A and B are shown apart, each in its own frame.
Chain A
Amino acid sequence: MADEIKASANEETPLVEIRNLKKYFPVKTGFFGSTPLKAVDDVSFSIKRGETLGLVGESGCGKTTVGRTILHLYEPTAGQVIYNGKPVNSKSKEEMAEFRRKTTMVFQDPYSSLNPRMTVSDIIGEPLDVHGMYSSKKERMDRILELMDRVGLNSEHASRYAHEFSGGQRQRIGIARALASGPEFIVCDEPVSALDVSIQAQVINMFDELQDELGLTYLFIAHDLLVVRHISDRIAVMYLGKMVELADAAEIYDHPMHPYSKSLLSAVPIPDPKIAHANKRIPLQGDIPSPLHAPSGCPFRTRCPFANKSCSASMPEFKEVKPGHFVACHRVEEINS
């Protein structure tokens, strides 16, 4: 009975929730001084169990930092990460070990994220070693072979080194390593951007299948917006360390409400000549400002066609405009009416 209540409570509470998360990096300016680089500035969202949240934005917008800060690979400057209803406490060794076992990451570059001096079995087995998840050598090896099989690698190749594999196969090794500790939550940081088009689809399908089989929850970070749309249930858009929009995947593509999301989505080249020629792009002027000298108020105001005085005065609140559709823009009602 108690278990049932607990289980239903689990379904209600999001698996991962972040509240007002901030991550500043000190950057030296001159001899004595340093200014904080606000890589992630006051970001809040939650991810339900079994859901895929896509996180998009251009380089330097802080999407990778969000992923790493959630996993406590970076210690947050401020704010909270709540995992499974409990705030993550980096002070407690046991709690952190448990958290690290349940959460993991798949990296972008399958060339630099695998140790060239380790065999595939040692790479995949390392999380098992770290968490002491076996009682005999045979059990360890069996588990490694099972993982290799699961991601479609030939188990005969267990004693080979990473450089003997192609990019797609290396990414499979990275995924097998991520799965080794039996995680619930995986941060996928641009996991297919380094792969060839024909290989991307294989890996994307594998993420889909693993989610169905193992009930995984993903934070899927990517700059390829068609890939993100394909795999995500909901999508969040970031700009200069701030979250500007969050909604269901279909909703955000069909009815983007923030002027930045509108431009970003209209800029995606569609692989279909007729649609591509008919597509009305909303061009953006200029470049992203340096995060060291972020504009006052709304970070997007320097490139926004709708910016007025109120935009430079204060940061707009990230508020629910429609059910499940959050936007941070002072003029969202005017623009979208």
Chain B
Amino acid sequence: MALLEVKDLHTSFFTDAGEVKAVNGVNFNLDHGKVLGIVGESGSGKSVTAYSIMQILAPTGKIVSGSIKLDGQELVGAGEQVMRNVRGNKVSIIFQDPMTSLNPTLTIGHQLMEAILLHTDRTREQAEARAIEMLSLVNVNEPAKRMKQYPHEFSGGMRQRVMIAMALACEPDILIADEPTTALDVTIQAQILELMQKLQREMGMAIIMITHDLGVVAQMCDEIVVMYAGSYCERGTADEIFYNPRHEYTRGLLRSIPTLGSMGQKLHPITGTPIDLLNLPEGCPFAPRCEKAMKICIKHPAESMDINEFHKASCWLNVKDLYEKQQSASVVSAQEGGEA
């Protein structure tokens, strides 16, 4: 059984302007000790998917339908009591901006110990020892002294280390990292990613890595979910997504980024502009920007189709390919039959 099973998740925000369908039918499984990447642009619903798992949506947001099972336990519709036990204890999250996710008026030590005291039976002394242990685990120098300092005395990279220490203090099964390195410089990003990989190996938790950076995904993830306008385009192993993309959006995305070999060449951008979530089209949300869109793409959303054991994609072009293959195969077999 998978550690986390997300099935046909729909999350909407009910605003004055109307219903914003932020997540429209996302499916994925996460196994113990694996790193799953959720990739997409702003507004693709990747963060809302994560917030739905934690049920920390804004007051206007609501999980409309679908199922989220953690270790077999259904979380959709579960009470606040259950969720309190899940958050921080079984699933924890680190956010993009380490500057704003720490309380500036409390010491680092206070904030770290708060998480530990809330979720475990440790005494204050034990919690302090654990907090110091966590700080040294994330490579913060002189942890005992750092415990007494305030967030403003830490650099951006250091703050993100503190956030990771806080998230991992109760040894969760899943760590959700929402753009954890986007606000950081590349050399600091490399340090943080390396640290996350090291801790993942040592502690064995699963990671959901939410990012728009395909480079980060390529380096970190075993499996990848690609999202566009709240729908999932495809999911599969990292190699499958990068070397055998089967959705036009993924293909376009991979073509449009500069690579080591693209110097002096034109990039191939995806034309058009991102979609308005208030007015989602009937069919595939990417169809208005898709160069290969067919009539059916505009009318009906594509259903998820198995490409192979490790790869699912929702794109009508795959159905077309399959149909054409079968056609030509039947023509060949008919010819062979005729000759015989």
Interface residues in chain A, defined as those with a beta carbon under 8 Å from any beta carbon in chain B? 58-59, 166, 168-169, 196-202, 204-205, 208, 223, 225-227, 229-231, 249-250, 253, 263-264, 266-277, 279, 281, 283-284, 287-288
Q: A230-B263, A249-B263, A267-B187 are known contacts. Are A198 and B258 too (CB-CB below 8 A)?
A: no
B77 → chain A, closest Cβ, in Å?
A: 34
Among residues 244 to 291 in chain B, which have CB atoms less than 8 Å away from a CB atom of chain A?
252-254, 256-260, 262-263, 266-271, 273-274
Question: Contact between B187 and A198 (Cβ–Cβ < 8 Å)?
Answer: no
- Chain B hits for A196, CB < 8 A: 41-42, 212, 274
- CB contacts (< 8 Å) of B216 on chain A: these are 269
Interface centre among A168, A208, A270, A287 (most CB of B within 10 A): A287
Q: Is the CB of B191 within 8 A of A197?
A: no
> Across the interface, which residues of A come within 8 angstroms of B157, CB to CB?
287
Q: Given that A267-B190, A269-B213, A271-B257 are known contacts, is A169 also in contact with B219, CB under 8 Å in the complex?
A: no
The residue in chain A whose Cβ has the minimal distance to the Cβ of B158 is: A287
Set B191, B239, B256: member contacting A198, Cβ < 8 A: B256
- CB of B267 within 8 A of CB of A204, answer yes
Residue of B nearest to A56 (CB): B186
Give Cα A225 to B157, complex, Å.
19
A-B contact pairs, 22 of them (CB 8 A): A168-B273, A196-B41, A196-B42, A197-B257, A198-B41, A198-B253, A198-B256, A200-B256, A201-B256, A201-B267, A226-B259, A229-B260, A230-B262, A231-B258, A269-B213, A269-B215, A269-B216, A269-B218, A270-B260, A273-B238, A284-B187, A284-B191
Q: Is the CB of A283 within 8 A of B263?
A: no
> Do A270 and B194 touch (CB < 8 A)?
no
Q: Please indicate which of the listed interface residues A59, A230, A268, A274 has the most CB atoms of chain B within 10 Å of its own CB.
A: A230
Contacts A225-B186, A281-B190, A287-B158 hold; do A271 and B269 have CB atoms under 8 A apart?
A: no
A169, A205, A249: most-surrounded residue (chain B CB, <10 A)? A205
The answer to whether B258 touches A227 (Cβ under 8 A) is yes
Residues of A within 8 A of B193 (CB): 269
B263 and A201 within 8 A (CB): no
B137, CB-defined interface residue at 8 Å: no
Q: Is B214 an interface residue (CB 8 A)?
A: yes
- Give the docked Cα–Cα distance between A288 and B187 (Å): 10
Which residues of chain B have C-beta atoms less than 8 A from A58's C-beta?
Answer: 185-188
Answer yes or no: B242 CB below 8 A from chain A CBs.
Answer: yes
Q: A198-B269, A284-B191 are in contact. Are A276 and B218 (CB under 8 A)?
A: yes
Q: Mark B179-220, 1 if CB is under 8 A from A, else 0.
A: 000000111111101100000000000000000111111110
Number of interface residues of B (CB under 8 A): 43
B252 contacts which chain A residues (CB < 8 A)? Answer: 198
For B254, the chain A residues whose CB sits under 8 A away are 271
Task: From A197, A199, A200, A227, give the contact of B273 (CB < 8 A).
Answer: A199
Q: In terms of DSSP, what is the predominant structure of the interface of chain A?
A: helix
- CB-CB under 8 A from A197, the residues of chain B are 41, 212, 214, 253, 256-257
Q: Report if B155 contacts A (CB, 8 A).
A: yes
Q: Give chain B nearest CB distance to A154 CB in angstroms.
A: 12
**Chain A contacts for B259, CB-based, 8 A:** 226, 270-272
**Which residue of chain B lies nearest to A260 when distances are taken between CB atoms in the complex?**
B187
The contact of B219 among A166, A226, A264, A269, by CB within 8 Å, is A269
Please name 15 further chain A to chain B contacts, defined as beta carbons within 8 Å, in addition to the given A168-B273, A197-B257, A198-B270, sorted by A numbering: A58-B186, A196-B212, A198-B253, A198-B269, A204-B258, A205-B266, A226-B215, A230-B258, A263-B187, A269-B218, A271-B257, A273-B218, A287-B155, A287-B158, A288-B185
Picked from A166, A169, A226, the residue with its CB within 8 Å of the CB of B257 is: A226
Given A199-B273, A283-B191, also A271-B218 (CB < 8 A):
yes
**A6: shortest Cβ distance to chain B, in Å?**
31
Give the chain A neighbours of B262 by CB distance below 8 A.
Answer: 230
Q: How far is the CA of A272 from the CA of B262 in the complex (A)?
A: 13
For the complex formed, measure the closest distance between the CB of A276 and the CB atoms of chain B, giving whole angstroms.
4
A231–B258 CA distance with the chains assembled, in angstroms? 9
Neighbouring B residues of A169 by C-beta, 8 Å: 273
A250→B155 CA distance, assembly (Å):
33
Nearest CB in chain A: distance from B171 CB, A: 26
A58–B194 alpha-carbon span in the complex (Å): 19
Q: Which of B185, B194, B270, B273 is the one whose CB lies under 8 Å from A201? A: B270
By a CB distance below 8 angstroms, the chain B residues around A59 are: 185
Q: Is the CB of B269 within 8 A of A229?
A: no
B267–A205 contact, CB under 8 A? yes
Residues of A contacting B218 with CB < 8 Å?
Answer: 269-273, 275-276
Q: B194 touching A226 by the CB < 8 A rule?
A: no
A208 touches B266 (CB 8 A): yes
Contact assessment for A202 and B269 in the assembled complex, using a CB-CB cutoff below 8 Å: yes
B219 touches A277 (CB 8 A): yes
**How distant is the Cα of A281 from the Cα of B16 in the complex, in angstroms?**
49
A227 contacts across to B, CB distance below 8 A: 258
